[in-house]
Structure 1
Amino acid sequence: IGLADCFPVEHILGRDEAAPKPSPDGLLKIASAWGVTPSELVMVGDYRFDLDCGRAAGARTVLVNLPDNPWPELVDWHAADCRALKVMLG
């Protein structure tokens, strides 16, 4: 989704490191590795499974790369694209 340069490669988890989304396993592993609670995390994604994962972990969620928000009940914030998200984050 365009945010790979924002994180160290060792903190990017794939299916070999965590159960696939919508399981919260990956987010919970990141929270543990970073020494934070899941409520301190934000899950950024472009599909419902990303948002379901964030909610199941107890994180906030951001929907990106979709012009409309088809899942308002799962989204804390909606950004048109990652460039807009970076602006939102300051």
Structure 2
Amino acid sequence: MQTFYLGVACFLLLTMIVGLARVFLGPRQEDRLVAVQLFGTTGVAVLLLLAAAFDAPAVRNAAMVFAVLAVLAVMAFVRDSRKNDGRGGGGAGG
């Protein structure tokens, strides 16, 4: 089973390499955001597979931290893009 986990982790790393092209080529900021989300979710999946393959609970904990950081990165991007659009971040009324 360990070989299967490592094989799937390698496949997911290849998808991350393909997504790297989207980060550099764009063409829009939203495309780059989706690629960064791909890195976040795929990175978490790779870490969880490695944790299962090597029976390492500390790696599982690191994966959960990366999952939270990915959400925070998206929130920061959305907040920054709203500022740049001139709509501001005044909540529902503003």
**What TM-score, normalized by structure 2, do the two folds share?**
0.27
**What TM-score, normalized by structure 1, do the two folds share?**
0.28
Q: Greater relative contact order: 1 or 2 (C-alpha under 8 angstroms, separation 6 or more)? A: 2
- Higher relative helix content: 2
| Larger of the two Rg values belongs to structure | 2
